[in-house]
Structure 1
């Protein structure tokens, strides 16, 4: 059979439906083979003629990009005979550089989510895509029609919108932006006058943030965390980070100095910083930051938060110019100056005035994102909605039609830094869905269009005669070289007088959620059960208060409080957060969804409508505060250890090494892990990567409340000295040399293997839980119920969820104890590869799921019998220590201590 050429398309919009049952039959039979992209239906191969790369069943990697808030993150997706099973970071992509975030890791569950819409619906009745195309043509032909999209980062989609507007002079295009990337700030007076700040971390020695959270959730998180962690490791003695913020953030937890500042006082902090740089007096924290900036002139910058007034942004811009800050100012990825683009803030007046009588919504959910104001304004407007599932907007629409998931689609995307990538499908569409590109062509009166051909048309016009080579290279690398990025010169004007924003006693800071972003990921069970980094809350949001404010109001941890603002009131459980500024209430966005499928509906409360000033009232009732960790103090124990720059060595406790048990003897390799708590930012990427890799089920809020969560790695948070915030410590299985779980097991299900792993024999376990009772680290998880299959059947999607699972890892049933295995399936794959090639396993050849996901590169894994391995060198660090080492368990998972300012340690 001749070899396949290029990356053909399995996802062409030619009117042919690929239903879920048919797709699953192809999975089971192994009929869909992949080589360098998704295959055309006419080129699908029978299994008996599978090419060499697929004959062994080995996984194949494909480069693509996944959107987050419209921006690309470069990824490599692992595929097993036509099924995507794991997302990895693309080391060649500037916006990921090999790392991932929790949202990218959870896209597999979003792809196979049984609650996705399966076919177009009008008035509760299924309709054909031909009927959808006719409805769209009629809508565009009439006056008063508008298009609302999310942030468009696709050059092809932008080109199509431009062509549509040229052909339809009366059509208006509105863009709704939900979760803005970190460091995207205003650049002028208009709502679309924005710029993306991009610091050169490799050239920075001093950074001050004023309400900014570059390490926080969003499409820039992976690149920012990667850059910061590299700077921290390379110049730990000289690199300094200062954070001034109202509510603790991930950036604040990693700062050398963190100062709580109310939102209204951030402008004053910027003025004090300017004065201190000019030699004036300033409060001690500001003065210290100014000295660090001055000492690092040319290698220093100030990063502003997104909500600062224009005059403060102008002042910060002046400071950065004076410091010669190594930082670029770029046009945001979603901004297309050649197109007439309107901000969604102007949509509601247009709806109320009758200028817009018909609204086509493509990949957005304004009924939730824009709140009651949109619903009131759009009460008499005809809505046509395109999205992954029936959400709040779809429920009000006259027509709702489903879109492809990005892993089913051809497209292109720009990342936050402007890098362009191609998006290629990893699987045939599971449902009767269409690409957003095909929908825009329907609006132009064209049907049966191929999204791949549309993308190729965009890049063919740019690349000319070199198209074939450049296309293949971009598909394989996942990056398009030399795509232009436009610089921005900000022009600030004094802010006009605005209407009062509320008169509440407390400033309200609503942050982007680490779990659901601004609501898009509410239907995702993996993310709903992923603990918030600082509070460890799951399945909902809470109102955070400072300890002083909570005491003044008589509020205890977990009490229900009423938050009131702008005529709205919501009720949330309260949590007391160390390091929060007095007079500030913190909440997280994205909750209180009414229609987010069986997983996300009715979880938490929507705090976006409350505004920036609110009142807080205790209700005298206890709330539901479901958390995976309830105690954050170390109680005098050295759990999360710290050293100083002046004394960088951990105090070595001299505990006895004697043991009743005989010593183990190993041949190389013998595996171990070191986790650097100094650069772990608590982003949770490792938790979701482990969940995806190891088929770990979701258990639900009731089970978590009973202490029955199933994660194989957790990230413990501990209060830092002087109430400045919390630090993080990832805790997988310790794989102890003298493991207490092993002699406790009556059936020898917990055993030590020849590579030093503490292995768990699932089919031997009878569920006594003696091993769990004897584990001082509490890293073993018990399947009280058949979580995996019960979840699948409850969602009526057992077949889809089974297709998502990693075939290299068994799915455990009820009554089995399970835990971290150091990704033994990856170890064995490396063993087999080395054996076939008659060579030893190379250092770094085995990479665990948590290690590969970590954007901070905080995890090192390898052979501890090799003195030259990276893990052995890490264990030789003066910051190295073992958790609870006085117990004599001799864990193979060990840590590097945090490095703190002298007076904090």
Structure 2
């Protein structure tokens, strides 16, 4: 039975009433095996579309989407209206991912480098597999598999593969390296990130995390935020962050603390609540048991001096948070990116205990574990300390083979770790990817990888919605014919499929079989959102729907104690960085490029930043008053120096930045990355210092201090805001000025002759014109 989009959406819309039975709605067995020609026949005018449900893979935290496919080509990505994470909503980043599928610089076939200093040459998959097997045979016990943080099947395959060869699997994320997960574990006793019930809260208090822009799943949070604002009183939103992110711009009360003092701010809020008697004795006792030392020694005046936030504003935030419940508090991002990051986040999450928000409606809700045995429901990057130790092994020659996928470690690591030198000491570096990145410059074997639109998988969203969710990922298009029709745009293969092909088969034949087997196991449980008479029909139904979920399977918190001790943040030194003004450097994830994964996509490059409207560049946000004092104007090229290096950025003064703070977006500064990303902007990650969180060893990426100096030149900031000067397009074409409340027709009647005179008839004979 074929389903059009309207029928599909009608079926998926019935979820609220209960489980959907898909037994009579199976899709054809070979529905997804299609080709995507670049040039369609001139007389082909059918225009029929098909919509396939899948998950976003590496480009979100488990968002479920629908992909519109016409004549075998993916055209549009939208949020899946039936998926509990996206609920039909989307971001501009979704469509940018399509450009990686059809990218003109996509890696077409396997490439081999015969020597470390040699060039890459194309080889066949047979030769590539032979090289791969040889590298594995030499690497038993000396193998490292490097990926981005992975959940679901792909993470399990990577870990099992590394274990098969007595190696290790390490995840790399430049900004999330365990501080957030560690704080949640210590305070709430949960391995998975919790759900923040923003939609049902009266007051939302967040720290550091740009959850409406880049943190977690902004689509999921955006839906909840809309429901939060739909309340009769619109709710009340308080956000603490040194710079005005998209989230800070939406807040009713914005607090701009000194970077690294977010934990002090949280304790100051708690002290006001306790001293004013705004919390029950039971909650106060539980809070003091969870936070070492409680609020002893915390005074409002000292906290205001330390954080730089006015006493009145702290008091206002505390009283609103305690008096207008249910309330929820959470944090992440820059709030945890300090040497005391674990303490900051621990104190922030403990605020939920004080107002009774743990596992409560409108508060913070625990997520259950994975519904499928052997698949992780949580993932984060390895700590910076662990990476320093690992890279030391590479430099010492103790690692024979490194396999890298989904992690551009050369771009994402600071200069201080000398990542290039470490890679040069590894005999076999094998890199997977769709477009050449900086890490592939050091790879001996480069293998073209399928995008999530071409491969199979299962993902588990994090954070989830408060109950078990399994997202399905399936190929929505087949191989795409090249422009000249001589072959494929990319003869790519899935990362998981290649590893399984190289393995002994003990943990799977291929990714498709793993997905189908897991869905068959879910059918055996007899619960959840899909009901069918057989495992085969159940599998088809789950693929059609984009996943499976069980709203009855929830988690519960086990309140513990903040593991990190109270302490002040340490910042890097600026000794030896030369002349200039000293600033706190606060990197932030690009709203369109992420941490750089989408830098190759021109749609992502041209998407304007929601605050500055800048694009295609690296800019530096500084306080406008401070900029005037320093003689810095918009577009001035600034030299930003730390003890780890120097970059250049375009000045963007505006009032939404705390004085003494300079904010620079992450994502640009690639030496490779295709024609749209190569040598564009600067890489702020490269100049971060090696300061680490005291508890977890994670990189304290907001603890770098820099000196800032004008470079003596100016470049116009590419942005979408400001005034556009009106000029004649060409001689003979006048400019028509339309006034307020005036139509173009009226304007032409009123001043047409005047503007003809000004632009066309200056000089002799002008007075004779009518």
Give the shorter-chain TM-score range: 0.7 to 0.9
Quote the offset at 1:2 in angstroms.
12
Matches within 5 A, 1:553-592: 553-592=630-669
Q: Report what 1:474 is aligned to.
A: 542
The 5 A counterparts of 1:605-754 are 605-611=682-688, 612-630=704-722, 739-740=743-744
Report the alpha carbon displacement of residue 386 of structure 1 after superposing the two structures with TM: 0.6
**Alignment partner of 1:363 is 2:406:** yes
Following superposition, the deviation at residue 75 of structure 1 comes to: 1.0
- Aligned length in residues: 616
Q: Using CA pairs under 8 Å that are at least 6 residues apart, name the structure with larger relative contact order, 1 or 2.
A: 2
In structure 2, the CA distance between the partners of 1:743 and 1:707, relative to structure 1 (3 Å rule), is: closer
Kindly state the Cα deviation for residue 466 of structure 1 after the two structures are TM-superposed: 4.1
Pair 1:176–1:9, CA change in 2 (3 A): farther
| Worse-matched range after superposition: 266-275 or 277-286 | 277-286
1:117 Cα deviation from its structure 2 partner:
0.4
Taking the aligned partners of 1:62 and 1:557, their CA distance within structure 2 comes to: 45
Q: Tell which deviates more after alignment, 546-555 or 392-401.
A: 546-555
The answer (yes or no) to whether the contact 2:256–2:658 under 8 Å persists in 1 is: yes
| Change in 2 beyond 3 A, CA 1:579/1:158 | closer
Check whether the contact 2:263–2:347 (CA below 8 A) recurs between aligned residues: no
Report the Cα offset of residue 199 of structure 1.
0.9
The CA distance in 1 between the partners of 2:207 and 2:366, in whole Å, is: 17
Spell out the pairing of 1:474-513 with structure 2 (5 A cutoff): 474-482=542-550, 489=558, 492-494=562-564, 501-504=571-574, 505-513=582-590
Aligned to 1:403: 449
Deviations 1:504-529 (A, max 9, x none): 43111100001211111111111111
Tell me if structure 2 keeps the 8 A contact 1:188–1:492: no
Structure 2 partner of 1:426: 476
Distance 1:491 1:318 in 2: 9
Question: Is the deviation greater in 242-251 or in 354-363?
Answer: 354-363
* Partner SS for 2:538: helix
Contact 2:456 2:511 in 1 (8 A): yes
**Alignment of structure 1 residues 57-72 onto 2, 5 Å:** 57-69=47-59, 71-72=61-62
- Counterpart in the other structure of 2:463: 417
Q: Report the alpha carbon displacement of residue 342 of structure 1 after superposing the two structures with TM.
A: 5.4
How do 1:450-461 and structure 2 match up within 5 A? 450-461=510-521
Match of 2:440 among 394, 398, 402: 394
Please, which of 248, 252, 259 is the counterpart of residue 248 of structure 2?
252
Tell me how far 1:28 sits from its aligned partner. 4.0
Contact in 1 for aligned 2:106/2:436 (Cα 8 Å): yes
User: Alpha-carbon deviation of 1:59?
Assistant: 2.1
Residue 327 (structure 1) aligned with residue 387 (structure 2): no
User: Please, what TM-score do these two structures have when normalized by structure 2?
Assistant: 0.72
Match of 2:422 among 377, 383, 386: 377
Cα pair 1:215 1:221 within 8 Å, conserved:
yes
- What residue in structure 2 maps to residue 89 of structure 1? 79
Contact 2:179-2:342 at 8 Å conserved across structures? no
Task: Tell me, in whole angstroms, the C-alpha distance in 1 between the residues paired with 2:239 and 2:143.
Answer: 46
1:304-315 correspondence runs (5 A)? 305-307=335-337, 309-315=341-347
Alignment partner, residue 881 of structure 1: none
> Which 5+ residue runs of structure 1 have no aligned equivalent?
13-17, 31-46, 48-54, 633-703, 709-733, 746-769, 775-905
Aligned partners of 1:428 and 1:538: how far apart in 2? 33
Q: Which residue of the partner structure matches residue 303 of structure 2?
A: none
Alignment map for 1:160-199 (pairs within 5 Å): 160-168=157-165, 170-178=166-174, 180=176, 184-187=180-183, 195-199=192-196
CA distance in 1 between counterparts of 2:726 and 2:190 reads 46
Q: Secondary structure at the match of 1:600?
A: coil
Report how far residue 623 of structure 1 moved.
3.0
- 1:545-556 counterparts in 2 under 5 A? 545-556=622-633
Q: List aligned pairs for 1:115-154, cutoff 5 A.
A: 115-123=105-113, 124-141=120-137, 142-143=139-140, 144-153=142-151
Confirm or deny: 8 A CA contact 2:270 2:354 kept in the other structure: no
Q: CA deviation at 1:175?
A: 0.7
The question of whether the paired residues in 1 share the 8 Å contact of 2:156 and 2:375 is answered with no
CA gap 1:276/1:341 in 2 versus in 1, 3 angstroms: closer
Q: Please give the alpha-carbon distance, in whole angstroms, between the structure 2 residues aligned to 1:375 and 1:515.
A: 27
Correspondent of 1:293 among 307, 321, 324: 321
Distance 2:511 2:388 in 1: 32
Deviation for aligned residue 1:437:
1.8
Tell me, in whole angstroms, the C-alpha distance in 1 between the residues paired with 2:493 and 2:212: 35
Cα deviations by residue, 1:118-150 (Å, 9 ceiling, x for unpaired): 110102221222222222323333231111111
Within 5 Å, give how 1:205-216 maps onto structure 2: 205-216=202-213
Structure 1 length as normaliser, TM-score?
A: 0.62
- Deviation string, structure 1 residues 85-107 (Cα, Å, up to 9, x no partner): 11111111122111101111212
Q: Residue 638 of structure 2 contacts residue 710 of structure 2 at CA under 8 Å; is this kept in 1?
A: yes
Counterpart check, 1:316 vs 2:316: no
Unaligned runs of 5+ in 2: 4-24, 114-119, 277-298, 301-310, 358-362, 481-489, 525-532, 575-581, 689-703, 730-737, 757-770
Is the contact made by 1:196 and 1:331 (CA closer than 8 Å) also made in structure 2?
Answer: no
Call closer, same or farther: CA 1:182–1:574 in 2, change over 3 Å.
farther
Deviation at 1:533, TM superposition (A): 1.1
CA offsets, 1:309-356, max 9 Å, x none?
223333223321121221124489999399999557524422323432
State the match for 1:758 in structure 2.
Answer: none
Q: 1:487 to 1:608 in 2, by over 3 A?
A: farther
Distance 1:558 1:742 in 2: 39
User: In 2, Cα distance between the equivalents of 1:414 and 1:440?
Assistant: 21
C-alpha distance in structure 2 between counterparts of 1:74 and 1:120, whole Å: 31
Contact 1:10 1:427 in 2 (8 A): no
